[in-house]
Amino acid sequence: MEITDVRLYTVEEGTQGQLGAEEGESQYWGGGWQTEALIANPMSLYPEYKEERTSWMGPGQDPFVVELEAADGTTGFAANYGGGRYACDVVDTHFRRFVEGANAFDIERTWERMNRAQLPYGQRGLTMMAISGVDLAMWDLVGKLTDQPVYNLLGGKSKDSIDCYVTTHADVMEHMADEGFLGVKLAAPWSQEDGYREGLRKTEEMVAEARDLYGDDAEVMLDCYMAWDKEFTIRAADRLKQYDLKWLEDPLHPDAVHEYADIRDEIKPIQMAIGNLAFGYEHFHQFLQAGSGDIIQPEVQWAGGMTEVRRIAEMAKPHGLPVVPHGASVYNYHFVVSHTNAPYAEYLTVSDGREVRPVFDAIEGEPIPEDGTITLSDDPGFGVELNRDIVEPYEPAN
């Protein structure tokens, strides 16, 4: 079945489910916790960009949508929360030639053509986000054409339901404590840029509060978002072991392959989770060969789509390492339910972080956890629809 049309959309500003809190509610709060709250990040080095991530985040982190239409009128789509109009530019001006006219079932060949074509100028970031959007839209389209959920196309269910942990901010973590999640992951507000002793003290107090709030049976994790250096990571781990912290996530730069390997053993029994900002299987191959991590966390919507993350999972399996996709999306859930070495999934609180709600407003029918667990329907494709009320047709720059 031939793909006859590629349609691209941008998503209306302020509709991604990340806004809603009132400014000044607490010590660390700005607006929506994902973008305005105090969260340690690679730009924490610069005081003028430290307090709010929106002060330095660019349009490459905006959402976009790819919709594909087959010759019989069937459509498939993917809503990606990164790439924005820049990813649309790449698809429109470059990848379109490899998609329109292609057989909808030739996902591997189409993926490879896009990947090889962008090697001279891409290989990560926006170009991989663009590839991911097209790839996921193709999986959705094939599911619609065959009247099968994507997880069946991936080999069927490896589990009947998916246990989830919740990612939130320290200011609002109490609202998720009784929602049945297997654990909580906190965005780290502090780093060495706050002073080693002060940053470590505050981090320990936050983790201690989370352990007390969630109890001894819950897992507690910490997302460090590439903001820490080696010294802060090792010293933090030493202080946090007493709280039975499960993992530290992405504390160093994503290319610090050997640095991760150097400190992995030093922080045990705390595990190292890596891969949020790694793109393509080659980057993960480097991690695996160097022994850089314990939990492998590709972004399905960024690392190359379902096609590439399946490869990453197969590489991780001989190493005995679990693959827990970073972020929360229906795409992650179809991957997790169909792979034995993907034991659970992430659910991300949005808006003001006070209730369990859909993550991405551009998607209608997104599955959300009930008592910390997600059960997928047998609807074809990814089982969701595009919210056309908040998307706008992409317009090429003049």
Would you tell me how many other CB atoms lie within 10 Å of the CB of residue 156?
11
Strands 247-249 and 271-274: parallel
C-alpha 190/C-alpha 276 separation (Å) is 19
CA distances to 54, 172, 226, 350, 352 from 49, rounded to whole Å, are 9, 23, 15, 22, 22
Strands 183-187 and 75-80: unpaired
C-alpha 293/C-alpha 71 separation (Å) is 45
Identify the DSSP state of 22.
P
By the 8 A CB rule, do 336 and 346 touch? no
Give the torsion through C-alpha atoms of 195, 201, 203, 209, to 10 deg. -160
The contacts of residue 107 (CB under 8 Å, 6+ apart) are 135, 138, 139, 142, 307
Nearest to 1, CA basis, from 106, 71, 67, 74? 71
Identify the DSSP state of 95.
I
Catalytic residue among 169, 253, 285, 326: 326
CA distances to 4, 15, 89, 187, 299 from 11, rounded to whole Å, are 23, 8, 15, 25, 20
Q: Is 94 noted as a catalytic residue in this protein? A: no
Instruction: Report how far Cα 25 is from the mean position of its chain's Cα atoms.
Output: 27
Active-site annotation, residues: 326
